[in-house]
Amino acid sequence: MPYSFTEIEKEKSWVIKFVFAFLLVFYFFAAQLLWVVTKLFFNDFYLPAKIPQLFSFRELIIVSIVALAVASLHWYYSTRNMIADLTGMLDARPPDLKDTYHKKLQNVVDEVSVATGGKNISCYVVPSSGMNAFAISDFEGNSVIGVTEGLLSRISRSQLEAVIGHEAAHIASGDSFSTTVICSLFGIYGALLEGINKITLRRSGDGSEERISVGARFGAYLLVVYMVLLVIKGANYLLNLFISRQREYRADAVAVRLTRDPLALSEALYLISRGWRGVGVIPGSLSPIFIMTPDTDGLEESEGVFSDLFSTHPPVKNRLKILLGMAHSDLGSLKSGIKERARTPVEEVPVAAGISSAAPVKDWLFYKDSSWQGPFAIEDLISSGLNPASWVSNINEGIIRQAAESSSLTDALKGRIPGPTKPENVCPKCDQPLSEVLYEGAPVMKCHYCGGIASGRDVAARVLAREDYSFHVETAVVAEALMKSHWAANPPNFFAVTDRLTCPVCKNKMDRGFFTYGLPIVIDRCVKCGNIWFDKGELEILQYLTEKNRGTSYYKRDVSKPLEK
């Protein structure tokens, strides 16, 4: 690496001094202004002799002390816990190593950390389907690279490696430290401001009486906070002056030095620049730590003194030009080189054929296709599609009952479940253990018999960000029909639900409701642990709808034709 440890430490202490000096000056001017305004306000204008006393040496000293105190407090509280604050703000969490995508990310981060000569870097995942990545580091030299779920699922391994290389370059060169400090000092408050804007907008759209009175009570308080945050956001803009656009070029160059693959980095940048980068979810004021600004604006993409001063990232086309120059390639061949990802058909769990040595006893009748069939042995029953809910009868007993009620059939059904199971996690509909399977690389629990899926809330978000599998033919038809039935306009009465399901994990009752109002698919959600139960096909329909909203190329085809399997 071109940067030695001492150089980084030197730059670090420089950054600390500089930013603290900036804070001091900022608060000094703010306090002085406030003081002068207050004095003018209480000034007796009939006595003009008082006006020259606006500035006095003693007052300047007091103002300086106040500014120093406020700046120190601000510094102390903002930089105490930078990594936790920023990752908390972005809702980033450590990778789930059971998940194939997360495992891949962990591996790639480890690989790149080897390339930097063994820097200790941990990785985080942001549960958003936008495409972006960030790097932060703190005083103690802890560093974090975060990647959004969307980026993770939509770029190849070598492209991911290039992106991580870029972020590792920021960490290795020490400039992620300065952006982290600036973001924790000002960016977080800017993000709060964006949050308040969002809340107030939502409030005004909501017509209920109670909310408004609560809003009115908080109104005055909110206004003060708003003003303060506005000033701090202004300071953030000023401080962005000192974040050079050059550091992104430099990080691109170091990333190529680390991974020796300029083409992969340019492909990744191209894909990120073409996709949704998380605006709305990722606060714009935290953009310095990201590989590309979440929000697209003209400033970032233009050149000249003004945009050089105020923007934090250089134009994508310039970055691409430099990288493609290194790879002896051009934009045309880059575009033609990016292929649509091949999709595998939805994975079905294969049923293994049973092996038994003794001759099976054929004594079960099975009600199937509206007629009684049989007699069958238990093995035959199961291979002809026995469910826990199917009606069966044993010749020797002469009673008609459901398969789940017979202990021998229940045991046989249990023996057929592939994959690891836990006896405490049972299907809320079939009462059979759920098997742990990987669906789109994410660990979920699936019922082998009814095809329902139980998944954690964040795991469901992960699945919705991924595009490995194609869809069943009927999924598109059902999804379109559901959307046409205007459930969103006439929501069914969920309070009338009597058959509430039991959560397969914590055993509490589950509530029935829409997944979201934008995706009005009825699912069951555990109130306590947030687990979601999807009946067969529901998750796939949600995937279909989110992917359609996302507008992937998979949908730019004739709607009247059924989707290929």
Partner 1 sequence: MVILFILFVILIVIALWLMGVYNGLVQLKMRVKNGWAQIDVQLKRRHDLIPNLVETAKGYMKFERETLENVIKARTQATQATTVKDKEGAENILTGALRSLFAVAEKYPDLKANQNMLALQEELTSTENKIAFARQYYNDEVTRYNTSVKSFPANTVAPMLGFAPEEFFELKDLAEKEPPKVSFT
For partner 1, which residue of 48, 52, 117, 398 counts as binding (CB under 8 A)? 117
Rounded Cα distance, 83 and 184, in Å:
9
Rounded Cα distance, 427 and 452, in Å:
8
3-state secondary structure (DSSP) of residue 137: strand
Residue whose CB is less far from partner 1, 280 or 325: 325
Note whether 329 binds partner 1 by CB under 8 A: yes
Contact 343, 469 (CB under 8 A): yes
Rounded Cα distance, 535 and 427, in Å:
11
Residue whose CB is less far from partner 1, 97 or 473: 97
Q: Which of residues 232-261 bind partner 1 (CB under 8 A)?
A: 258, 260
Residue whose CB is less far from partner 1, 330 or 424: 330
Contacts of 141 (CB under 8 A, 6+ apart): 120
For partner 1, which residue of 85, 99, 161, 467 counts as binding (CB under 8 A)? 161
For partner 1, which residue of 19, 63, 112, 160 counts as binding (CB under 8 A)? 112
Spatial CA neighbour of 272 closest among 171, 134, 178:
134
Q: Of 71-79, 114-122, 246-254, 307-315, which segment contacts partner 1 by CB under 8 A? A: 114-122
For partner 1, which residue of 86, 115, 251, 417 counts as binding (CB under 8 A)? 115
Note whether 418 binds partner 1 by CB under 8 A: no
Q: Which of residues 389-408 bind partner 1 (CB under 8 A)?
A: none
Output the smallest distance, CB 385 to partner 1, in A: 24
Tokens of 359: 């001759």
For partner 1, which residue of 118, 304, 398, 423 counts as binding (CB under 8 A)? 118
Binding characters for partner 1, 197-236, by CB under 8 A (x = yes):
----------------------------------------
Output the smallest distance, CB 372 to partner 1, in A: 38
Spatial CA neighbour of 504 closest among 533, 536, 537:
533
Note whether 169 binds partner 1 by CB under 8 A: no
For partner 1, which residue of 46, 57, 140, 328 counts as binding (CB under 8 A)? 328
Rounded Cα distance, 473 and 562, in Å:
6
Residue whose CB is less far from partner 1, 198 or 343: 343
Note whether 327 binds partner 1 by CB under 8 A: yes
3-state helix, strand, coil in the chain (%, to 5): 55, 15, 35
Q: Are strands 371-376 and 442-446 parallel, antiparallel or unpaired?
A: unpaired
For partner 1, which residue of 34, 54, 114, 199 counts as binding (CB under 8 A)? 114
Q: Are strands 532-534 and 510-514 parallel, antiparallel or unpaired?
A: unpaired
Rounded Cα distance, 140 and 311, in Å:
28
Q: Of 180-188, 277-285, 323-331, 442-450, which segment contacts partner 1 by CB under 8 A? A: 323-331
Residue whose CB is less far from partner 1, 202 or 321: 321
Contact 324, 330 (CB under 8 A): yes
Tell me: cis bond preceding 375? Omega within 30 of 0 counts. yes
Note whether 417 binds partner 1 by CB under 8 A: no
Note whether 263 binds partner 1 by CB under 8 A: yes
Rounded Cα distance, 463 and 478, in Å:
19
Output the smallest distance, CB 377 to partner 1, in A: 28
Within 131-261, where are the H helices? 149-154, 157-173, 175-182, 188-205, 209-240, 246-259
For partner 1, which residue of 219, 234, 337, 415 counts as binding (CB under 8 A)? 337
Output the smallest distance, CB 116 to partner 1, in A: 8
Output the smallest distance, CB 332 to partner 1, in A: 8
Q: Of 147-155, 173-181, 329-337, 467-475, which segment contacts partner 1 by CB under 8 A? A: 329-337
End-to-end C-alpha distance for the chain, whole angstroms: 49
Q: Which of residues 78-107 bind partner 1 (CB under 8 A)?
A: 100, 103-104, 107
Residue whose CB is less far from partner 1, 58 or 328: 328
Note whether 167 binds partner 1 by CB under 8 A: no
Residue whose CB is less far from partner 1, 200 or 329: 329
Note whether 116 binds partner 1 by CB under 8 A: yes
CB atoms under 10 Å from CB of 353, counted, come to 7
Q: Are strands 442-446 and 421-426 parallel, antiparallel or unpaired?
A: unpaired
Residue whose CB is less far from partner 1, 329 or 394: 329
For partner 1, which residue of 16, 24, 212, 438 counts as binding (CB under 8 A)? 438
Note whether 108 binds partner 1 by CB under 8 A: yes
Within 92-187, where are the H helices? 100-115, 149-154, 157-173, 175-182
Rounded Cα distance, 264 and 108, in Å:
14
3-state secondary structure (DSSP) of residue 139: coil
Rounded Cα distance, 181 and 284, in Å:
16
Rounded Cα distance, 348 and 247, in Å:
48
Rounded Cα distance, 469 and 348, in Å:
11
Give the number of residues in contact with partner 1, rule: CB under 8 A: 25
Residue whose CB is less far from partner 1, 346 or 450: 346
Q: Are strands 143-148 and 364-368 parallel, antiparallel or unpaired?
A: unpaired
Q: Which helix (H) or strand (E) holds 392?
A: strand 391-394
Note whether 303 binds partner 1 by CB under 8 A: no
CB atoms under 10 Å from CB of 395, counted, come to 12
Residue whose CB is less far from partner 1, 172 or 192: 172
Q: Of 327-335, 382-390, 528-536, 554-562, which segment contacts partner 1 by CB under 8 A? A: 327-335
Binding residues vs partner 1 (CB under 8 A): 100, 103-104, 107-108, 110-112, 114-118, 157, 161, 258, 260, 263, 327-330, 333, 337, 438
